Amino acid sequence: MRRQLYEVQRAMRARREAALRRGVIAVLDIGTSKVACLVLQFVPDEGSGAPADRPTLRQGAFRVIGAANTRSRGVAFGEVASMEECERAIRTAIQGAQKMANLRVDHVIVGFSGGRPRSYGLNGETEVRHGAVAEHDIGHVLAACEVPDHGHDFEAIHALPVNFCLDGRTGLTDPRGQIGRTLAVDMHLLTINSAALRNVIHCIRRCDLELAGVAAGVYASGLAALIEDEQELGAACVDIGAGTTGISIFVRRQMIYADSVRMGGAHVTSDIAHALRITPQEAERLKTMHGGLVATGLDDREMIDLPSALGGWDHDRRQVSRSELIGVMRPRVEEILEEVRERLDAAGFEYLPGQRIVLTGGSAQIPGFEMIASRFLGRQCRVGKPLRVRGLPGSATGSAFAGAVGLALHVSHPQDECWDFEVPADRQGARRVTRALRWFKENW
């Protein structure tokens, strides 16, 4: 007997709906280098033909009323490494955003990029009961999917119906109301390490917040950085963060693959620190102020003062040229990109109609990154910034905030995920009362 897959997510859905009714929700992007928090205020959508019981929102029906970000502590590779430190970082971000919004937030949606996400493609098939496909048929077909053995220490966080197939007609996004006999679905299941997930959940609980949802950071940054055409035709979003580099592939507005490389900007920084014998903080500063990836003749002559490790600027002064710095940074970036290329090849990215690759995340801001990336990933590379959302302060519009903005978009316009449909009664398990009630609901 398969276990109840999405019980946690169902509980989260209830909380998310409560938050939407209240109109205020926070999104929290826990990254390796920074924790970003946005407080969103929603205007519930009136007048559209949405079912009344579930609050739905138009895309862009929210505005950002509070934004804060802070250096993150106690996070390594996108996972919580030190609970206490991570909690302090989250508290700082939440408090700053609350102060800007002048509102208290209780519900938070978390996106994080660690936990070794794995993608699975699932298939399910079922008979349509009454001719036209109804909600419960979709519930049935989703429940009919063969869930692969993803290991007991991994947990599903996204299960997106990518494609519906009705009597051989494929490529349907929403088959409800159509007539047919056999309904099949292709589903994309994303699992992450449950220990990492539980740590994050616990961390949020320690901050007196209620978790209203968890999203993979890759998914969120793909939502924010890819424009609609790219999502439709097929594109990959490469989110180069500090600790991890996330890869997500979108086609027909659905994410079909996600993966992550456990390398990122922090490794570049530590390379600089090692090579030039300076502290990591100073290396980070050097990287952001003078870093680059493509050396020119001018860079040989541009000398950078190195802060001395031992104090005393007069007897321990060192200088490096910018091309030396570039020489330190470039191999690591190339390594990351090679790894990304491998993952994309493994996912079969070259068979997609669109070959666009969008680079985002903080490390994508290194000058010359686009040029290097196009050598490794093909010609159609661009550095992407997140979509513009209302009320977002200018300081949070850079590509490093793609994850946070993507979470906001995800909240405002959630995909019809698997747990948005009720589980059919015969798979509900031994809850007799619930089953009886459901029977009543369906037949009366």
Partner 1 sequence: MRPLSAEPRRPRRDPAPSRLRYRIDRLWLRPWVRRTVNLGVPGLALVLASWTLFAQFDARDRVIAAYETLRESVVRRPQFQITSIEVPEASPDLAEQIRTAAFVTLPANSLEVDVNAVRDRVEALGAVERARVRVLTSGVLEIRAIERVPAVVWRSDRGIMLLDQGGARVAEVDSRRRRVDLPLIAGAGADAHVGEALALVAEAAPVRGRLRGLVRIGERRWDLVLDRGQVIRLPEAEPEAALKHAMALETGQKLLEREVTTLDLRDPRRPMLGLTPYGKDELARVRAEAAGGDA
Contact positions toward partner 1, by CB under 8 A? 70, 73, 88-89, 91-92, 94-95, 98-99, 102-104, 207-208, 281, 307, 311-314
Report the nearest approach of partner 1 to the CB of residue 395 (Å): 16
Query: Whose Cβ is closer to partner 1: residue 319's or residue 443's?
Result: 319
**Gap between the Cα atoms of 101 and 377, Å rounded:** 41
* Cβ(34)–Cβ(72) below 8 Å: yes
Query: Whose Cβ is closer to partner 1: residue 90's or residue 425's?
Result: 90
Query: Whose Cβ is closer to partner 1: residue 101's or residue 392's?
Result: 101
Query: Whose Cβ is closer to partner 1: residue 76's or residue 103's?
Result: 103
- Distance of alpha carbon 188 from the chain centroid: 15
Backbone angles phi, psi at 395, to 5 degrees: -70, -15
Query: Whose Cβ is closer to partner 1: residue 121's or residue 280's?
Result: 280
Report the nearest approach of partner 1 to the CB of residue 215 (Å): 24
Query: Whose Cβ is closer to partner 1: residue 26's or residue 409's?
Result: 26
**Gap between the Cα atoms of 339 and 393, Å rounded:** 34
Candidates 234, 214, 257, 236; CA nearest to 414 is 214
Query: Whose Cβ is closer to partner 1: residue 26's or residue 156's?
Result: 26
CA terminus-to-terminus distance, the chain: 30
Query: Whose Cβ is closer to partner 1: residue 317's or residue 441's?
Result: 317
Report the nearest approach of partner 1 to the CB of residue 180 (Å): 52
Query: Whose Cβ is closer to partner 1: residue 96's or residue 386's?
Result: 96
Query: Whose Cβ is closer to partner 1: residue 102's or residue 395's?
Result: 102
Candidates 260, 179, 239; CA nearest to 369 is 239
Report the nearest approach of partner 1 to the CB of residue 45 (Å): 26
Report the nearest approach of partner 1 to the CB of residue 22 (Å): 13
For CA atoms 161, 162, 165, 168, give the dihedral sign: negative
Report the nearest approach of partner 1 to the CB of residue 84 (Å): 10
Report the nearest approach of partner 1 to the CB of residue 376 (Å): 36
Report the nearest approach of partner 1 to the CB of residue 401 (Å): 20
**Gap between the Cα atoms of 268 and 442, Å rounded:** 58
Report the nearest approach of partner 1 to the CB of residue 136 (Å): 42
Report the nearest approach of partner 1 to the CB of residue 285 (Å): 11
**Gap between the Cα atoms of 224 and 33, Å rounded:** 19
Query: Whose Cβ is closer to partner 1: residue 102's or residue 443's?
Result: 102
**Residue 79: which region, alpha, beta or left (left: phi > 0; alpha: psi -120 to 50)?**
beta
Report the nearest approach of partner 1 to the CB of residue 71 (Å): 9
Token pair 């320690």 is found at: 206
Report the nearest approach of partner 1 to the CB of residue 42 (Å): 18
Query: Whose Cβ is closer to partner 1: residue 297's or residue 312's?
Result: 312
